[in-house]
Amino acid sequence: MSDKTDFKIIIAGGGIAGLTLANMLEKFDIDYVLLESHNEITPQVGASIGLLPNGLRILDQIGVYERIRKFLMSKSNFHINDSNGQSVFLLPNFLKRLESRHGYPLLFFDRQWLLQALYANLQDKSKILTGKKVTHVDLVDGGVKATTMAGDQFCGTLIVGADGVNSTVRSEMFRLGHQLQPGYFGMDEEQHMVCHYICCFGIAQDVPGWVDGDICRTLGDRVSQLVASGVNGRVYFFFFSKLPESKYGKEIPRFTKEMKEEFVKKNANYPITQKVTFGQLYEHQITSTLTPLHEYVLKKWFFNRMIVFGDSAHKPNPIGGQGGNAAIESCAEFLNSLLSIKARRSGTLNNLSDDEIFNMFHEVQTARQERAAMVVKASHDEQSLVAFESPLKSTVTFKFLLPFLRHETALSKLGKPLSGARKVERLPDAGRPRTIPFVDELPENSWTWSTSAQLSLLTLGVGFIIGKYVR
């Protein structure tokens, strides 16, 4: 910085969390620099993204929603299929019904397209730097210094680690915590990160036999599938498989392309529908990968002038479609806390003390911790149910209860946790019509966001919700 007292945020990572935060900071003329490891800001990494009303409302506030609404499917039917591909539950017109209730639908599209929209929405793109992988972080007088793999150094007031599951900022945060304040972090903090499932996910194109507009959750024995339609013949797929035993920390495996092909060959005959198997879909894939699925919520998200959120701090199983939405919510809470401090300091963030930053970070984690933990647990429980880890419970749920569930009852239960999400407090709401208000639109204390409601998390597999009745 030209002056050590000038406020500036370093954002490590140009994914969904990093670019969302950049857009928010720009709205309030808060200085930052974003350091992205890839040589381009919107790489195609073969991933899709599901955005739900809780995340879309925030994106609408920062001007991004209209850029991505074009990816809404004109028709949609949500199916839960048994292990033979036969439908056991159908929720017709799912996306439009979700939108009429909550003001926003579900959007399922390429993750790359969201990154492109977030980047395009920025007015000043000079603050976005590519090919800058952060490898080291130092605490300096009144701030932080980030060093990249190429040796470039960047100074700021604080650093936000939005650099994903294998976060360098998180590792550096643990290192400095152990060194400067022994006992602040547990010595085995990273060993608490667990992997129960692996997943082959990707994008296919023009799959024969697939019904355009369908979203299918297919059940299985220690496996399950999620397949969703996208625009222009896109089909997004996830094949989940339970590990023989759970892995922790450094034991969590990584996979090669050869291992992925062997995985696909082994599971090719699993039906998705009665007309399409996993193998038949995979023949039309244009990009795919095999990856471990980490599940965790850090006990502490920050140390000194370093904080992590998004997948760096809270990582659910993707079956619930809430990972990206949770990252967006964390960005909003971070900005809310930052702007509150600015207001209390007569409109300036310059020369923030360590205590002020600690209080801000503590406020952010307090606001997000329980909800993030509920998202992770709900997604884990959903995966357990659809993969028949407890055969009796799953059989009762999907054979005897689910077929008789009323559509409006399902939508009501699915929507409760969406309404509990917060927004950017100092940006106007777009005011899109909806019949179900968000909790922050209600009179204070008129609605309680209970743990049981949070556990009703909207997932793309209605089964978990129904499973609550057979506990």
**321 and 386 fall within a common domain:** no
Answer with the one of 370, 387, 405 that is the final residue of a domain.
370
Residue whose token pair is 């159908």: 90
The answer to whether residue 216 sits within a structural domain is no
In a domain, 417, yes or no: yes
Q: Is residue 424 part of a domain?
A: yes
Give the distance from CA 202 to its chain's centroid.
16
Q: Does one domain contain both 326 and 344?
A: yes
Q: Is the per-residue pLDDT at 106 higher than 60?
A: yes
Asked if residue 304 and residue 159 are part of one domain, the reply reads yes
What is residue 290's predicted lDDT score, i.e. its pLDDT? 98
Q: What is the pLDDT of residues 9-49, one digit of tens each?
A: 999 999 999 999 999 999 999 999 999 999 999 888 779 99
179 domain-assigned: yes
Pair 383, 315 in one domain: no
Region 344-351 average pLDDT = 97
385 and 448 belong to one structural domain: yes
Residue-wise pLDDT for 140-169, tens only, equals 999 999 999 999 999 999 999 999 999 999
Query: Of 349, 370, 391, which one is at a domain's C-terminal end?
Result: 370
Calpha distance 119→108 (Å, rounded): 19
Q: Which residue has the higher pLDDT, 428 or 439?
A: 428
Are 41 and 134 within one domain? yes
Number of domains the chain contains: 2
> Stretch 281-308: mean pLDDT, rounded?
98
pLDDT band at 4 (very low <50, low <70, confident <90, very high): low
Q: What is the mean pLDDT of residues 232-240?
A: 98
CATH, residue 314: 3.50.50.60
Q: Under 8 Å CB-to-CB from 412, ≥6 apart: which residues?
A: none
Shared domain for 342 and 462, answered yes or no, is: no
Average pLDDT, the chain: 92
pLDDT at 409: 87
> Do 301 and 355 sit in the same domain of this protein?
yes
Residue 461 pLDDT exceeds 90: no
Contacts of 208 (CB under 8 A, 6+ apart): 276, 280, 284
Domain assignment present for 44 = yes
Q: What is the pLDDT of residues 189-207, one digit of tens each?
A: 888 899 999 999 999 999 9
- Residue range of the domain that includes 35: 9-54+111-191+297-370
Choose one of 370, 405, 420: the last residue of a domain.
370
Token pair recorded at residue 243: 């590990």
| 288 part of a folded domain | no
For residue 268, the 8-state DSSP code is T
pLDDT of residue 458: 42
Domain membership of residue 221 (yes or no) is no
- Whether 449 shows a pLDDT value over 90: the answer reads no
181 and 305, same domain (yes or no): yes
The answer to whether residues 459 and 408 belong to one domain is yes
pLDDT score at 45: 78
Q: pTM here?
A: 0.93
From CA 10, how far away is CA 250, in angstroms rounded? Answer: 28
Q: Which of 97-101, 161-165, 440-444 has the lowest mean pLDDT?
A: 440-444
The yes-or-no verdict on residue 460 having pLDDT over 60 is no
In a domain, residue 267? The reply is no
pLDDT score recorded for residue 456 = 37
Extended strands (E) in 230-301: 234-248, 285-297
Instruction: State whether 49 and 143 are in the same domain.
Output: yes
Query: Using an 8 Å Cβ cutoff, are 451 and 407 in contact?
Result: no
Same domain for 394 and 350: no
% pLDDT > 70, the chain? 93
